[in-house]
Each structure stands twice: as C-alpha cells, then as structure tokens.
A = this chain, B = another copy of it.
C-alpha cells in the first residue's frame, strides 16, 4: 500500500500562525501604518493568551513591521523619506546580486523556463491593464529571480524588504503603473539573465530598481510635504486617553 493520497499535514505552532495572520493584516493595510496596537487587544481579538500574541508581536518587530514602545504599546511601522531611501537602495543591491547569480547559472535545469514563464505572466497582465494584477505580476517576476538564485539568506532578506515595501506602497497614494513602461523596463533585464550575462544583468537590474525606487520615494516625499502643509492650517486638537480608543504612535521616554 504505497500511498493513500492522504495529504501531509503541516503543523504550525499557534505562535507562528498568529505572527503570520498579523503580518498579513499589516501588509494588507487592515492595520494601518503608524497604528498603535496592544497585546491585550490583539489577544482578545484572536482568542489567544497574551503571552502567545506577545511572541508573535516580537517576531514581527524583528522583521521591522512593528516597533515596541516598552510598557506603552506597539506601533505599526511608519514610513519616512529616509525609510524609502533605505528600502530602495537595499532592495537594489539585493536584486542586483540575485540577477547576477541567476544569469551565471541560467543553464541549470528549468531556470530559464521559470523565468520566461514569470515574464510572460507580467506581459499578459500588462495587456489586460488591470493595475493590481500588474503589480502582483511585477512582484512575481522579481520574486522568481530571487528564488532562482538558490540563496536562502538572500531570499529571506528579500522577503523582509518586500513586505516593508508593500506596507509602504499601500500607505501612500501609490502611483499607477504604466503597462507599456513596465514591460519595457523588465525586458532587457530578463534578456540579459537569459543570455547568461551576469554583469549586464546586475547593472540593468540595479538601474531599474534605483530609478523606480527614487520615483516612488520622491512621490512619497511630495505627499508628506502636502500633508505637512495641510497640518499647519488645522487647529491643534486636544489629546486624551479614551478607555477603548486606539492610539497613534508616541515617543518613548528612553
């Protein structure tokens, strides 16, 4: 009796499941950037012990998605121009390395096919012109290149950057992608990788990421300026601690 077609269950500790669910909520924007949350509140909503939730929150803090304000609460990452700069410069360095590694090993079994497949999905999404699909296919192509590098630490590091970038994009008035430009930007990178040219692949990848990253960061900076201008025209409001209201981020005294 070789196999009964019974699927293998993947057991995941509840701590890890809680971290996964919270991560998804943050990245999806259900818990907005800058939001204050507390262990008690989340534990209540999830039906778990506070200690379990606490472990999950610490996990997300390590990933940069949350910041702990000791004895006060936790805040979802908030984003500045400096954060944007850090994210896109680091992402560009990581993706350059991946493009080089994949180009150098593109003759390995199946790699070229997988890359072509991911690129075709991007082209397909751009033809349909649906913005969310384009964005996902764009991310998908990048992820494929990263995965094909066969470099666990690189993959893990990239995932951390990606989720922060997703929070970033979602919390801003994200720019709509131009489908024609998206394809045009990625085509030479894919071609260089498929041609097995690490230097060219790395350089093109880096250029693409720096250009797009700067553009998005500039856009956010403009948004921040507009928000700051608008804030100067409103009357400062009283702040008090409501019994059940959630809090915006606040400074720890440390």
Contact = CB atoms under 8 A, between A and B. Distances in A.
B55 A151 contact: no
Given A58-B55, A59-B62, A93-B93, A10 B254 contact: yes
B87 A153 contact: yes
B152 A86 contact: yes
Instruction: Name the interface size band of chain A.
Output: 20 to 34
Contacts of A96: 93
Contact of A64 (B59, B101, B153): B153
Contact of A59 (B58, B89, B151, B152): B58
Copies in the complex: 2
Contacts of A128: none
A64 B101 CA distance: 22
A250 B90 CA distance: 35
Interface string A49-83: 00100010011001110000010000000000000
Interface in A20-62: 51, 55, 58-59, 62
Given A58-B55, A93-B93, A93-B94, A86 B254 contact: no
B151 A90 contact: yes
Nearest to A202: B93
Residue of A85, A86, A94, A254 contacting most chain B CB atoms (<10 Å): A86
A64 B64 CA distance: 16
Given A51-B51, A89-B101, A254 B11 contact: yes
A178 interface: no
A96 B94 CA distance: 11
Given A13-B70, A62-B62, A89 B55 contact: no
A154 interface: yes
Contacts of A154: 86, 89-90
* 9 closest Cβ pairs, A-B complex: A93-B97, A86-B153, A62-B62, A93-B93, A86-B151, A90-B153, A90-B154, A89-B97, A86-B152
